[in-house]
Structure 1
C-alpha cells in the first residue's frame, strides 16, 4: 500500500519542529529584554524621585525647618521607604535620600536609588 503525498509537503517534513525550537529560544530572550527595560525605567524614575526629595529636604533645612518637617518633606516627595541622612558642614548642609527602586514584586530586590543635594543654611 502506498500513501500519496502532495508535492508541496516534500520540503516541509524536516523543518517541522524548527518553529517550536525558535520560539523556545526566542521567547525567553524577549522576556529577559522586557524585564531589563522595565527595571531600567523603574530605576530612572526612582533616581529622579530620590534626587527631588534630597533637593526639597535641603531647601527645607536651608530655610530653618526642624527635623520632623524635613522628614515629612522627604517622605512626601520621595515616597514611602525613603531613608534620610543629614550632614551639617558649617554653613552648609548635605541631604542624602535613598529609596527603593520600585514597589510590588521589585521590593524584594536590593535595588535602591540615591539622591544627594547640598544647600547653604541661611542665618
Structure 2
C-alpha cells in the first residue's frame, strides 16, 4: 500500500460517514415537517388534544417534543427533535405548521 492510499482511505471513510449522517439529518427534518403538518391538520378538524399530539408524535422522529397552541383562527403545531452527532454535529431540528380552524370557516363577523 502506498502512502497516498494510506492517507486517502481514512479521508474517504470520514467523508462517507459524514454523508450518511447528513442524509439521516435531512430525513429527520422531513419527518419533523410532516409531523407538524399532521398535527395541524388534526387540530384544525377539532380533534381532541390527545389525538392531535398522537398524530404528530406518530409521524415525528423518536423522542421528539410536540407542542400545540391556538392563536386567533389558527392552530399551530411545533415539533422539535434532537439529531445526535459527534461534537458540533449534534443538531436540534425544528418544524412548525399552522392550519385554519374549521370552526372559523364561513363565520361572519
TM range (shorter): 0.7 to 0.9
Helix, strand or coil for the counterpart of 1:113? strand
| Corresponding residue of 1:81 | 63
1:111 equivalent in alignment to 2:91:
yes
Question: How far did residue 114 of structure 1 move?
Answer: 1.8
| Corresponding residue of 2:50 | 68
| Per-residue deviation, residues 1-58 of structure 1 (Å, max 9, x unmatched) | xxxxxxxxxxxxxxxxx70x21231122101111111111001111111100000000
> TM (normalized to structure 2)?
0.81
**What is the rounded CA distance, in whole Å, between the counterparts of 1:93 and 1:107 in structure 2?**
36
Deviating 4+ runs (over 4 angstroms) = 106-109
**What is the rounded CA distance, in whole Å, between the counterparts of 2:86 and 2:79 in structure 1?**
17
Verify the 8 A CA contact 1:100 1:107 in the aligned structure 2.
no
| Corresponding residue of 1:56 | 38
Q: C-alpha root-mean-square deviation of aligned residues, in Å?
A: 2.2
Question: How far did residue 107 of structure 1 move?
Answer: 9.6
**What is the rounded CA distance, in whole Å, between the counterparts of 2:90 and 2:54 in structure 1?**
24
Helix, strand or coil for the counterpart of 1:95? strand
Structure 2 portions without partners, runs of 5+: 104-109
Structure 1 stretch 70-79 or stretch 37-46: which is displaced more?
Answer: 70-79
Counting matched residue pairs gives 102
